[in-house]
Amino acid sequence: MTERTTDFREHLIRYGGDTYPEIVEKAQGCYVWDASGNKILDFTSGQMCATVGHNHPNIVAAIRKSCDTALHLFSGMIPRSVVELARAIAKIVPRPLTKSMFVNTGSESNEAAIKMAKLYTGGFEVVALGGSWHGVTGNAGAVSFASDRKGYGPGMPGTFALPEPNAYRCPVRHCRDRCDLTCMKVGFELYDMQSTGARAAVIAEPVISAGGVIVPPDGYFDALQKETQKRGMLMIFDEAQTAFGRLGHWFAASHLKVTPDLLTVSKTLGGGIPLAAVITTDEIEAKCHERHFAFYTSHVSDPLPATVGLAVLETIAGEHLLERSREMGEYLAASLRELQERHEEIGDVRGMGLLRGIELVTDRETRAPHHALGALTTERCLQLGLSMNIRRRPERGSVWRIAPPLTVTREDIDRAMTIFDQSLSEMKEVLARRPGSGTRSEPAARKHSMAGHRGRQTPM
Could you give the residue numbers annotated as active site? 133, 205, 238, 241, 267, 401
Among 50, 85, 179, 240, indicate the residue that binds ligand PLP (CB under 6 A).
240
**Closer Cβ to ligand PLP, 270 or 329, answer by number:** 270
Residue from the set 139, 166, 241, 389 that interacts with ligand PLP by CB under 6 A: 241
Cα–Cα distance, 391 to 412 (Å, whole number): 23
Residue 168 CA to residue 215 CA, distance in Å, equals 10
Nearer to ligand PLP, 227 or 238 (CB): 238
3 state SS of 176:
coil
Number of residues counted as binding ligand PLP (CB under 6 A): 16
Q: Which stretch in 8-16, 101-109, 157-165, 406-414 sits in contact with ligand PLP by CB under 6 A?
A: 101-109
Specify the 3-state DSSP secondary structure of 440.
Answer: coil
Element (H or E) spanning 349, and its range? Answer: strand 346-352
Instruction: Find all residues with CB under 8 Å of 92, minimum gap 6, and list them.
Output: 250, 251, 254, 313
Question: Judged by CB, which is closer to ligand PLP: 325, or 362?
Answer: 325
Residue 358, C-beta contacts closer than 8 angstroms, at least 6 positions apart: 336, 340, 346, 348, 349, 399, 400, 402
Burial class (CB in 10 A: 0-12, 13-18, 19+), 68: exposed
Pick 144 or 325: Cβ nearer ligand PLP: 144
Among 42, 164, 205, 261, contact with ligand PLP (rule: CB under 6 A): 205
Least distance in Å: CB of 109 to ligand PLP? Answer: 7
Q: How far is the CB of 110 from ligand PLP (least distance, A)?
A: 6
Rounded Cα gap, residues 21 and 78, in angstroms: 42
Contact letters for ligand PLP, residues 158-197 (x by CB under 6 A): ----------------------------------------
CB closer to ligand PLP out of 100 and 209: 209
Closest approach, Cβ 460 to ligand PLP, in A, equals 4
HSE-up of 46 (CA within 13 Å, CB side)?
Answer: 20
Smaller CB separation from ligand PLP, 79 or 272: 272
Nearest to 262 by CA among 159, 140, 164: 140
Q: Contacts with ligand PLP in 46-85 (CB under 6 A)?
A: none
Interstrand relation of 159-162 and 125-129 (parallel, antiparallel or unpaired): parallel
Q: Does residue 460 interact with ligand PLP by CB under 6 A?
A: yes
Q: Which helix (H) or strand (E) is 400 found in, with range?
A: strand 397-402
Q: How far is the CB of 115 from ligand PLP (least distance, A)?
A: 15
Q: Which of 66, 139, 159, 266 binds ligand PLP (CB under 6 A)?
A: 266
Cα–Cα distances in angstroms (integers) from residue 21 to residues 8, 228, 376, 419, 454, in the given order: 9, 45, 15, 19, 11
Restricted to residues 13-52, the positions that interact with ligand PLP (CB under 6 A) are: none
- Cβ pair 31, 39 in contact under 8 A: yes
Is 238 a binding residue for ligand PLP by CB under 6 A? The answer is yes
Cα(449)–Cα(440) distance, integer angstroms: 13
Alpha helices in 133-215 (DSSP H): 138-142, 182-194
Q: Which is nearer to ligand PLP, 102 or 423 (CB)?
A: 102
Q: Which of 210, 236, 332, 424 binds ligand PLP (CB under 6 A)?
A: 210
The residues in 102-141 that bind ligand PLP, with binding defined as CB under 6 A, are 105-107, 110, 133-135
Binding site for ligand PLP (CB under 6 A): 105-107, 110, 133-135, 205, 209-210, 238, 240-241, 266-267, 460
